[in-house]
Structure 1
Amino acid sequence: MLEIVCPNCAAVNRVPPERAASSARCGKCKVALFSGEPAELDAASLARHIARNSIPVLIDFWADWCGPCKMMAPEFRKAAVALEPQVRLAKLDTEAAPSAAAAHGIRSIPTMILFRNGQELARQSGAMPAGQIVQWLRDALG
């Protein structure tokens, strides 16, 4: 059974591996588990997504005042379309959750961190186009 955290309510959903995750809905709030949009996280939902998802999770640490972050936002969205449902893409506003950003050692933004099974696999700072995000992630996953 795959565990997929809902991007809307952060409930943990059990999805049979033979079922298409792309069409799965949350058992609690009924929202699609994958929509081609990065999930917007806060500190609590960040911890839950990292710890409980059976699939890799790519987090974009950003802030509204950051020009490169704003330039990368549509590219990160395009990468979500290309990578879901094999990978969960999500965003964390470092201004709204400074303690979560500090806990992950965020020193510059945008910074992307790839997690699998609760562990950090790779990290990359700086804005990237969608194709480069996808290639970097695939290289990091091996």
Structure 2
Amino acid sequence: MGLSVSAATAVVFLGLFVAAGAFYPAVANGAELVTDAQHDANDRALDQQNTDITVTNATYDADNDTLVVNATNEGSTALDLASVDLIADNTYLEANATVEGDGDTDVWLPGERARFEVDTAEEPDRATVVVDHGVRDGAAVEVI
């Protein structure tokens, strides 16, 4: 009787050891994914805090049906010009964007001025520039 109890106990502990060995990697991987997601969220929050733009002016040339919006990157984060959106009177517009007159770059560095130009037949009242992380600024459109 003594040997069978000892053998049964050894089998039970061996089974628990194998189960723990299978369970641990799953828990460790899950914890690692959660930690990585928290770091990514913190990085996005920091980028949002360091992002700031100011629309310096917005003009609409009624003769040419052209809207021109100038904005300055006043934050400390470089922005991807390809992900910047121009909205006029709640309408998304595909604008031709340049930074400091250079149409070949997609990087909008801190302190630089960007120009967004789009042809639109409708005279907008307000134009808004939206950049990464939802940071935005707008201005009333001056008709010239």
Q: Give the TM-score normalised by the residue count of structure 1.
A: 0.21
Higher strand share: 2
Structure of larger gyration radius? 2
